[in-house]
Amino acid sequence: MIESITPALGKEKGTPLYTQLYRYIREAIEAGKLPSGSKLPAIRALSQHLGISKNTVEAAYGQLVAEGYVESKERGGYLIQPLDELWNPLPVQYVEMNNKCGEASEVMNSINRKDRRESSFLPYEFRYGDIAFDRFPYDIWKSCLTQSVNDAAAAAPYGILGYGDRLGHLGLREELCDYVYQSRGAVCSPDQIFIGAGTQYTVSLLLQTLGLRQAEFAMEEPGYNGVRSVLAGLDCRITSIPIEADGIHVTALEQSTAKVAYVTPSHQFPLGMVMSIEKRQRLLKWASASDALILEDDYDSEFRYGSRPVPSLKALDYDDRVIYLGTLSKSFLPGARLSYVIVPRRLVPVMTERMANYSCSVSPMIQQAVWLFIKQGHYGRHIRRMRRVYQARYRALTDAVSSTMGERVRIVGDSSGMHILLRVPGRDAMELVALAEQAGCLVYPAAKHWSNPDAEAREFVMLGFGGMQEDMLREGVRKLSMAWFAR
């Protein structure tokens, strides 16, 4: 087997070695040269065989695991998975989500000041935040939840009905460590993690426990309004740093006096690009040189449909500067309200000491159930399945947009995540959103993610596609196209 993995590494300049290795193995699997059911060579053996570091092999394997080509087994083996891995979808039920106070009503309120309680269900809701509820394994999750309450009744160790561990369920933190290592290449231990009720709260708690409120923050422009609101609500000083084609404008950041930079390197929110490896390295250098911290929000990195793997910044964080923000809202369920933070090793003592004054914000019952879900292997399987589901939805959406709207719009995004932006030159998003609503479609103006929306910002419309089946996406795009351009 090991002989069949002999790529000409170093051929592609500018592409990291691990990416080249990952691609080589992936193609070999896809071509059937590495048959499913067999094991990949041990990391040490392959690193010696190829004369590269173990880290490189590990990173390549991690990416293959993250994308579902390979499953990592206890005791270290990496098993190649069947390509058309069969699974039994649940009866496809269109789950009618009428999330009254989600983005939906917010937008609608701002447009026509409707009473919140009157905001009605639209047939085509491109709601950002929805996931593929129609493919969610309800029965498994229900049994995890029931199991969790049973565990509580039967003298479980961590007080599932009580406040629970202040940092979060220890078993769950252990699983999360494994997970970020396997899928994101980041090495951490459970004492570096705390669990909290959503990214907004974990960020707010971070500021409290690390005493960061007084620091100067850099935010991407445009950047995630959810985090900007938290910083603004706590009277933090915020500097906006523009976004370039390959991510945050690091030179502008270097010229600022910011001490904490919030970034979305795997999938810039909302524009969608991946931060280039050069920028990642410059960003890390900036942090070291300025004695600064980086808040890496890795919210939907699980879902990439193109070929390029994206390492996390945390995986490259040799100088211990990156605070990693993870969430289960995309990869599992927004309704779990469970996210987590990995703090740099040197900040563990102060974080732990201060956290002794805060109780955990996520129900230990939910944490126990999620822990069971992960530990029993459902989480990994679920992500692999969902990647294919979202990939199909992404393609259906972008194909439909291209074929019905053609040159009149530009699709902004990078084959990943659960949303795209449409840029409609010369049109105002507020008007487009209102026209869409009349045609039964919920879409969003993206401008709220700019701290200072300029004319360009107002040309962007945001569409979430995670919660819509392909037919609905195609039909919805047809409606949008008629509403926007058929006059």
Ligand X SMILES: Cc1ncc(COP(=O)(O)O)c(C=O)c1O
The 3-class secondary structure across 114-132, one letter per residue, is CCHHHCCCCCEECCECECC
Q: Would you count residue 299 as binding ligand X (CB under 6 A)?
A: yes
Residue 281 tokens read as 């390295």
SS3 content of the chain, % helix, strand, coil (to 5): 45, 15, 40
> If you count them, how many residues does the chain have?
487
**Of positions 170, 252, 392, 430, contacts a copy of itself by CB under 8 A:** 170
Q: Which H or E element spans position 341?
A: strand 339-342
Interface of this chain with ligand X, residues 218 to 237, rule: CB under 6 A: 224, 226
Interface of this chain with a copy of itself, residues 318 to 337, rule: CB under 8 A: 329, 333-337
Q: Would you count residue 301 as binding ligand X (CB under 6 A)?
A: no
Interface of this chain with ligand X, residues 320 to 379, rule: CB under 6 A: 327, 329, 334, 339, 359
In the block, tokens 């933090």 appear at 236
- C-alpha to C-alpha distance for 388 and 305, rounded to whole angstroms: 8
CB of 337 to a copy of itself, least distance (A): 5
Q: Would you count residue 209 as binding a copy of itself (CB under 8 A)?
A: yes
CB of 420 to a copy of itself, least distance (A): 20
Q: Would you count residue 297 as binding ligand X (CB under 6 A)?
A: yes
363 contact, one of a copy of itself, ligand X, none, CB 5-8 Å limit per kind: a copy of itself
- Per DSSP bridges, beta strands 260-263 and 293-297 are parallel
DSSP class of residue 450 equals S
Residue 125 tokens read as 């809701």
- C-alpha to C-alpha distance for 173 and 192, rounded to whole angstroms: 9
Q: Would you count residue 305 as binding a copy of itself (CB under 8 A)?
A: no
Question: In the chain, how many H helices and how many E strands?
Answer: 15, 16
Q: 475 to each of 73, 311, 433, 478, 480, how far by Cα in Å?
A: 42, 36, 17, 5, 9
Q: Exposed/middle/buried for 300, CB within 10 Å: 0-12, 13-18, 19+?
A: buried
- C-alpha to C-alpha distance for 479 and 473, rounded to whole angstroms: 10
69 contact, one of a copy of itself, ligand X, none, CB 5-8 Å limit per kind: none
Q: Would you count residue 465 as binding ligand X (CB under 6 A)?
A: no
**Of positions 81, 199, 367, 416, contacts ligand X by CB under 6 A:** 199
269 contact, one of a copy of itself, ligand X, none, CB 5-8 Å limit per kind: ligand X
Q: Which H or E element spans position 477?
A: helix 470-485
**Of positions 89, 233, 349, 425, contacts a copy of itself by CB under 8 A:** 233
136 contact, one of a copy of itself, ligand X, none, CB 5-8 Å limit per kind: a copy of itself
Q: Would you count residue 234 as binding a copy of itself (CB under 8 A)?
A: yes
Nearer to ligand X, 224 or 484 (CB): 224
Nearer to ligand X, 122 or 446 (CB): 446
Q: Exposed/middle/buried for 470, CB within 10 Å: 0-12, 13-18, 19+?
A: middle
| Gyration radius of the chain's alpha carbons | 23
Nearer to ligand X, 256 or 339 (CB): 339
| Packed helices 54-66 and 43-50: angle between N→C axes, nearest 10 degrees | 120
CB of 371 to a copy of itself, least distance (A): 14
Nearer to a copy of itself, 125 or 220 (CB): 125
In the shown chain, the binding pattern of residues 89 to 128 toward a copy of itself, with x for contact by CB under 8 A and - for none, equals ----xxxxxxxxxx---x--x-------x-----------
**Of positions 45, 142, 242, 288, contacts a copy of itself by CB under 8 A:** 142
- Segment lying near a copy of itself (by CB under 8 A), choices 2-10, 30-38, 232-240, 275-283: 232-240
Interface of this chain with ligand X, residues 97 to 156, rule: CB under 6 A: 129
- Segment lying near a copy of itself (by CB under 8 A), choices 87-95, 255-263, 392-400, 404-412: 87-95
Q: Which residues bind ligand X (CB under 6 A)?
A: 129, 198-200, 224, 226, 264, 269, 297, 299, 327, 329, 334, 339, 359
